[in-house]
Structures are given as C-alpha cells and as structure tokens.
Amino acid sequence: MVLLITRQVPEAVAARAEREFSTRALDMQGKFDAAVLLANLGGVDAILCTPADRFDAGLIGQLPQTVRVIGTFSVGLEHIDLAAAQARGIAICNTPDVLSVATAELALTLMLMAARRAGEGERLLRAGKWTGLTPTFHLGTGVAGKVLGILGMGRIGRELAEMARGLRMRIHYRNRTRLDSLLEAGAIHHDDDASFLAACDFLSINVPGGPATRHWLNAERISLLRPGAIVVNTGRGTTVDDAALTAALRSRHVAAAGLDVFSDEPAIDPGYLALENVVLLPHIGSATVEARNAMGFLALDGIAAVLGTGQSVI
C-alpha cells in the first residue's frame, strides 16, 4: 500500500511508516499546495496530512479513486470537508487523547507567562534594559486562589483543570453538556456565557474550530469578563475575534493574553505584534517528542485499520 505524507514527521513515525507502507514524502513547507499534492497522488492508497493542509470539497473531488483514507496529524478536523470525504467513500482518522496532556501543559505555560509577564521580562533582559530590582518593578498577578474558566471541558480542558488545581485555582467551566460529577471533580458548571465569563479571572479556550465557534470570543463576550482577566487560547485561532481582543488588550480590560493559535496561520494579526501584554507561541501545543510520536503512531494505526479491513474510522 502506498502512503503519501504531506509534511515532515518525527523520525520514529517516518521509520514506522516506511516499514509498513511504500511511502512517498512531499515534505511541504509553509502554505499548503494542492497542485503539488495532486501531482503526486498516482497510485496512492492513503494520505497522512496535518492541520495546515486544507482538504476542501473541491480538492477531495479531485482525489484519485485509489485514495481510501486520509489520516490527519491532529485531533481537530475542520481542515477536512467530512461530508465530501464521506460522499467519496474516503475514511478519515485523527489522533484524539494522546496530545491532551501536552496541550494542557502549554495552556498552563501560557497562563503563567501572561500572568507573570514573562515574555516582557525576557525581552527587557535581551534588550539590555534591566536597571535593577525595585519593589514595584514588573508586577504581575498570581494564580493561587483565582478562578480559571475553561471553555470546552473535553480531554484537554479536564487535564488543564487537574493541573490548575495543583496551583490552588478554582475551576469553572462552560461546555455543550454538563459533565457527570466524577469528571467535574468539583468544577462549577455554567449554562450561560454571561455567568461563566463574569466568574473568570483567567479564561482558557479549549474548543475546536469551525463555524459553530467562529469568533466566539467577540467584543460582547469580552465585555462580560472581569476587568483585568487573562485570556489563553490553545484551541483554534478562529474562535477569537482578533480586532476585539487586541482592542481589549490595549484598553487593559483584558490584562494579558497567551496565544498559541491564530486565525490565519502562519500569518498573525499585526495588532498582537505591537502589544507587550501578549505571549505569542507558534502553535506548539502538542509539540513534545512523546505527543508527536504518539499522534503519528495513532494516525498510522487508523490508516492501517482502514486499508486492512475497509472500516471507516470517522
């Protein structure tokens, strides 16, 4: 079976793929090029892609009949038109569970960096502008005893909640459905945006992308946050209205933000670049050796299952 891999994958994943398939590596860099993909699909049975590769209905309609499965190096599936794939009989497999801890760790990293102004401090040192310690120098805010509001209490949200409890934070959450008491573990559920946002000292966005969550954090919802709240996003950049958030950061209604995802990656809204009170990271939520290897192996498991049994993973 021939497997086409769109971008460079971890060495261990590539080695396993080469053992189990006849592999064809595109090693795309930067923006996804559908024409290059289509030019290399002759005889291909499966594709291993990433969230940077956009498989819309038009592209899926042009895939050769040999392609039976698309595996994606992600949990999110908004970069693939699932209805178009189903209509073509192409199975889709993703990588849930295995990146939850790594992504929660990064959300916690961003939260602490934003709260303690770590990015600003490092830039100050690198610029040679630190003049010494004074009692009022570079004051941030602590997290102990504060309320962490989690939008999306799925696997990643629950991992983050567990970590935050270790910092003596109180957990509130907003979710499509309320969790059972065991999964809640004492977290406070809100069934409306207003009460949820009003409770938040910190807001962590952990929901998937797509039309249902586009610009969820808009000017109206930002106005409901406590003054001085801190916003963290490790979900999808499209959930945030960039103009509204940058305006709130300039006014300091939102004291700081930590962002790992952006609406038009790899492009970043220039408004963020002009602000000191934003920590910006290049979509590295799952970027640990352990998580990325596990993601690759799970995607290969799904691809092998489809090609071996004809089953539909998604």
Residue numbers annotated as active site: 236, 265, 283
DSSP state of 49: E
CA–CA gap between residue 134 and residue 203 (Å, rounded): 30
Residue type, 68: R
Nearest to 72 by CA among 296, 311, 306, 304: 296
Structure tokens at 118: 């770590």
Q: Which amino acid is at 47?
A: I
Scanning the chain, the segments in alpha helix (DSSP H) are 11-20, 34-39, 57-62, 82-88, 100-115, 118-126, 155-165, 181-184, 193-199, 219-224, 242-251, 270-273, 289-309
- From CA 186, how far away is CA 195, in angstroms rounded? 17
Q: Which residue has the tokens 């979900």?
A: 235
Nearest CA to 232 out of 60, 107, 48, 55 is that of 107
> Residue 82: is it exposed, middle or buried by C-beta count within 10 angstroms (0-12/13-18/19+)?
middle
DSSP strands (E only) in 135-292? 147-151, 170-174, 188-190, 202-205, 229-233, 254-259, 278-280
